[in-house]
Structure 1
Amino acid sequence: MEGVHAMAARPVTPLAAAREAAGYTQENLAVALGVERTTIGRWDRGIQSPQPWQRRGLAAALQISLDALDDLLRRTVRRPAADTSTAQGSSVSSPVTNAAGRMVHRNQSVPEVDVIHAGIPRLRRALDRLDLPDDGPTRSPDDLRSEIIRASDDRLQSRYGGLARRLPGLIAELARAGQLGDTAGRRDAAALLTLALRAADGVAFKAGYLDLSARLIDMMRSTAQIAEDPLLLAVVAYVRTESFFATGDLDTAARALDVATDHVPDLDQISSSAAFGALHMRAAVVAGRAGKADVATDHLREARRAAVGVPEGIYLGTAFGPASLRIHELAVAVELRDPPGIERAASWNPPDELPAERRSHYFIDLARAQLDLGYHDDAYLCLQTARQAAPEHVRTHPQVRQSLSTLLRTHNAPSTGLLDLAAWARAR
């Protein structure tokens, strides 16, 4: 009997304990909330968190406040044991010096923001030496291609700290590869280097190094031209929009995207259709930000046409497909301050299979929309969901800070959860 009890024992998470204290089994709570029992099980184990629109009902069932529910969810969420990079920092096993010059000892945690800032000087040096790379080993093209896939995935999952550590060495290695082999080999190395530079831009832009981001985009244009790949040039045009957003030059952004779409070849190929559709998604957001609703609608129509034959996936480092399109539809509706469009787009939930950065964008935009509509509690919940999806991305996102600043100003007595979130994101 004792052995049977030991086998049946299981760890009770904070959320599961609160559910049981409220008198609910997984089955009857699922019935009360209108979800599957397996959904409650995933919430209990911290594998998945309830969406913003589900949390009011859950808090009411548990007879606790939304702030208390947020605390339960934070303490319940499960992180993979092998992951050495968390939302708060990276574990280190030997003394290091962080960006502020402080010594961090064994088994302490280096905040990811410190890891990123400490990696930027090394990244700049790697770019300075691109035509004169240091001597060193150079892996096979297949191995380098695998490293680029990993770097692209890290960017899409907003693991910027790991990228900041690895990219300087990878860029130097790709620069060496570009000086070896025949013409075809040099073109292949240039194509991989373009994608490595794109991953580096993800780090630089999100961390606020706009000068470095602009430099990386210019270098991407040069390496894409060496690669002689028109789809890579489309990728560069997509990323280049960041520079125009930063300066507010929306007319030039629109022209650059129009030129790029005109040069996408072979639209009967999936990869070409994905590039074409992604450019139109981006152009729709530009038009929405410029207040040009008709133009934005036209671009979304073209993107939908492209998405018909393209499964959701990653194409040359860009997520495209029906789900990515829906996320951009919300972004356009938010830019246009279009309540019906926001309601249509917000009736959908991005699947977990989408890249974390993409999913967090959806909830960041939805938070902006809820703020505009006066639903401040829902905006707060959306920001919490975005944080759970991609903490490194959310913490550095200027729109998150703007939304949090608005929430702080409009609450006479901000909740502990809101104050904690604002402090974490360094919002004022």
Structure 2
Amino acid sequence: MPSGTPLQVGRRIAATRHSRRMTQADLARAAFISLATVKAIERGARAPSDTTLDSIAAALTVDPTHLVTGYTGTERRVHAVLPELSAVLAAYDVPLDPPSRSAEELRAAVTEAVSWRLAAQYARVAQHIAPLLQDSLYHLHSSPAPDAARLVVAAARTADAVACKYGAHDLSARLIDLMRWAAEQSDDALLSASVAYVRTETFFVARAHRAGLRALESAVDMAPQPVCARSGAARGALHMRAAVIAGRAGEASAADTHLSHARALGDEVREDIYGGTAFGPDSVRIHEVSVAVSLGGEYVSRALDVAREWKPSLAIPAERRSGFYIELARAQLWSGLAGDAFESLKVARSVAPQHTREHPWAKEDTATLRRLKRADADSLTNFAEWIGAI
């Protein structure tokens, strides 16, 4: 259940608003609610409804769980939209009524939705993604140009973020099939490479790590040569992903080889979002931690070595930064550093609460820490209740 009195929630909202240098009037305008409502909520005289809380969180560019610990409105919104997404997928090849927005408006909306995915703002994604995917498909049917296919892939990938994170794995697989179909319409090798990167999720879920590694190695072979930042990032991201799944497959030599290729390509570009995927030197460092944890055993110390020398900056997307601290926590726990592991999990929650809450490793490690009782009992119990580990 959500925790925090109306006064505590109001104080969190006010503190977050101040950190954004917004007045109460600014927040009211951005959230499309009255100034009187903002004032009443901030002084604790009124508890925000789920709809109002989502609007305030969106205006403050945070996940609602930053404001109300244990908030479950995001889960409800995500699960409510899954049937709508399924209906869109069922008719992906059937042109329906034309959308109300133009191609330019659609492009802007998809770009914004991608930013929500990267920031792990799943409530905002759930609110808009079904009609956005439908409109993207219409544009592809009416104008089968590479740009239209890219919009479908971007919208479907954004939808997949909530489907996969919230356990709708069959729907996730169907969304990935849709991405592959759209990429085939485009004749765009870079788009196909980005879809191959995303497809790896299905192999992770099925624990088909060796098959996933072979699929990624095939995708690397088909990817364009790294003659520019975009093509270098596309190939580098595939190597980065291949290193992780090679680690999960227990193929240490292949993991090291792919990580070496990713590192070399990452050093050639600046850290940025390429085709919907963050890539660059910092992303490769994050994946070094992931590879070390995936290999386990004697390799875990590599993750601690990376973390001692480097931490991801705020320029890294929230979802990926949160993942770094979740995987670091696992390495710390395996190394007997239970207190450090709990601190890393708390950082992960502060960066991307909903991503942390839905991450299976975060749940597992929290449950282990609670059994070990090697952290402050009250804080750990509260965290375990929040994440659903008890």
Q: Same fold (TM over 0.5)?
A: yes
Which residue does 1:344 correspond to in 2?
305
Which residue does 1:83 correspond to in 2?
60
> Partner of 2:59: helix, strand, or coil?
coil
Count residues with an aligned counterpart: 337
1:132: Cα distance to partner? 2.8
Contact in 2 for aligned 1:122/1:168 (Cα 8 Å): yes
Which residue does 2:205 correspond to in 1?
246
1:90: Cα distance to partner? 9.5
- The alpha-carbon distance between structure 1 residues 133 and 424, as it changes in their structure 2 partners (threshold 3 A), is farther
> Partner of 1:265: helix, strand, or coil?
coil
Contact in 2 for aligned 1:156/1:357 (Cα 8 Å): yes
Structure 2 counterpart of 1:410, from 364, 372, 376 = 372
Gaps of 5+ in 1: 1-13, 15-41, 48-78, 92-108
Structure 1 counterpart of 2:177, from 215, 218, 229 = 218
How far apart, in 2, do the equivalents of 1:144 and 1:405 lie?
43
Contact in 1 for aligned 2:330/2:365 (Cα 8 Å): yes
Gaps of 5+ in 2: 1-10, 21-55
How far apart, in 2, do the equivalents of 1:174 and 1:266 lie?
29
1:411: Cα distance to partner? 1.5
Which residue does 1:188 correspond to in 2?
147
Contact in 2 for aligned 1:307/1:322 (Cα 8 Å): yes
How far apart, in 2, do the equivalents of 1:302 and 1:256 lie?
17
> Partner of 2:142: helix, strand, or coil?
coil
How far apart, in 2, do the equivalents of 1:150 and 1:159 lie?
11
> Partner of 2:355: helix, strand, or coil?
helix
After the TM superposition, which residues 154-173 of structure 1 pair with which residues of structure 2 at under 5 Å, given as runs?
154-173=116-135
Which residue does 1:129 correspond to in 2?
91
TM-score, reference length from structure 1: 0.74
| TM-align CA RMSD | 2.5
Which residue does 1:314 correspond to in 2?
273
Contact in 2 for aligned 1:311/1:321 (Cα 8 Å): yes
Contact in 1 for aligned 2:304/2:328 (Cα 8 Å): no
After the TM superposition, which residues 333-412 of structure 1 pair with which residues of structure 2 at under 5 Å, given as runs?
333-337=292-296, 338-347=299-308, 348-411=310-373
How far apart, in 1, do the equivalents of 2:226 and 2:72 lie?
46
How far apart, in 1, do the equivalents of 2:385 and 2:258 lie?
38
2:135 maps to amino acid: E
1:344 maps to amino acid: D
How far apart, in 1, do the equivalents of 2:365 and 2:60 lie?
30
Which residue does 1:330 correspond to in 2?
289
How far apart, in 2, do the equivalents of 1:409 and 1:135 lie?
55
1:133: Cα distance to partner? 4.7
How far apart, in 1, do the equivalents of 2:171 and 2:185 lie?
21
Query: Which region of structure 1 is more displaced relative to structure 2, 264-273 or 356-365?
Result: 264-273
How far apart, in 1, do the equivalents of 2:318 and 2:62 lie?
15
How far apart, in 2, do the equivalents of 1:381 and 1:405 lie?
15
| Larger CA Rg, structure 1 vs 2 | 1
- The alpha-carbon distance between structure 1 residues 179 and 322, as it changes in their structure 2 partners (threshold 3 A), is same
1:266 is aligned to 2:231: no
> Partner of 2:278: helix, strand, or coil?
strand
- The alpha-carbon distance between structure 1 residues 195 and 86, as it changes in their structure 2 partners (threshold 3 A), is closer
2:90 maps to amino acid: D
Deviations 1:42-65 (A, max 9, x none): 99x868xxxxxxxxxxxxxxxxxx
How far apart, in 2, do the equivalents of 1:144 and 1:368 lie?
40
- The alpha-carbon distance between structure 1 residues 250 and 137, as it changes in their structure 2 partners (threshold 3 A), is closer
2:225 maps to amino acid: D
- The alpha-carbon distance between structure 1 residues 134 and 85, as it changes in their structure 2 partners (threshold 3 A), is farther
- The alpha-carbon distance between structure 1 residues 413 and 149, as it changes in their structure 2 partners (threshold 3 A), is closer
1:294: Cα distance to partner? 1.6
TM-score, reference length from structure 2: 0.81
How far apart, in 2, do the equivalents of 1:236 and 1:258 lie?
14
1:143: Cα distance to partner? 2.1
Which one has the bigger helix percentage? 2
